[in-house]
Copies of this chain bind each other. A is one copy, B any other.
Amino acid sequence: MKRLNKTRYAILGILTQRPMSGYDIKKEMDESTQYFWQESPGQIYPILAKLLREKLVTCTNSSTSGSRVRNIYKITATGLKELKTWLAQDVMHPTPRNELLLKLFFGKNSADEINHYHVKKYHQQLKNKLKQYEQAYKNIKHDPSEHAPYWLMTLKYGEKILHAQLEWCDEILKRI
């Protein structure tokens, strides 16, 4: 089973919203998908060039507007088709690594103050994240985009998980 490049689909997907530059794509992801999908510029630019060669996107060089040069990419009909094909394919669910759990699993070798500290700190970070989710929720609710219902589903997922994680922290902190 070969691994296939999902970055290309993430980029194509973002481009269904509107034509964008590589820089815009990065920013867009930082504002919307950052809790379950991130890309670095070192990935985006080379893959954008590849997508262009494969004619899945077109590029208009907007140097005409008097301001600085920006490469604006737009998804093509072929690109949209390729995206839809991928969307219909079965999803892989690899178990992500969790460093906190690994440390806790070996917790016997550590002082319990240390184990407690790790969980406590995690708890604090989760609470901050939850606030950001609540803010994002407000923003999307007023978004008239047709995509909004789907965005809400992914947000809902994050919230549910966060609450479960917070509950777990509370229980663990009582134990150690």
Contacts and interface: CB of A to CB of B under 8 A. Distances in A.
A133 to B, nearest CB: 12
Contact of A105 (B154, B164, B168): B154
A101 B156 CA distance: 11
Contacts of A31: none
Nearest to A99: B91
Closest 7 CB pairs of A and B: A96-B96, A164-B164, A107-B150, A36-B98, A13-B106, A36-B101, A87-B110
Q: How many copies of the chain does the oligomer comprise?
A: 2
A88 B106 contact: no
A92 B154 CA distance: 23
A121 B92 CA distance: 11
Given A109-B83, A110-B84, A150-B107, A101 B37 contact: yes
A17 B164 CA distance: 30
A167 interface: yes
A78 interface: no
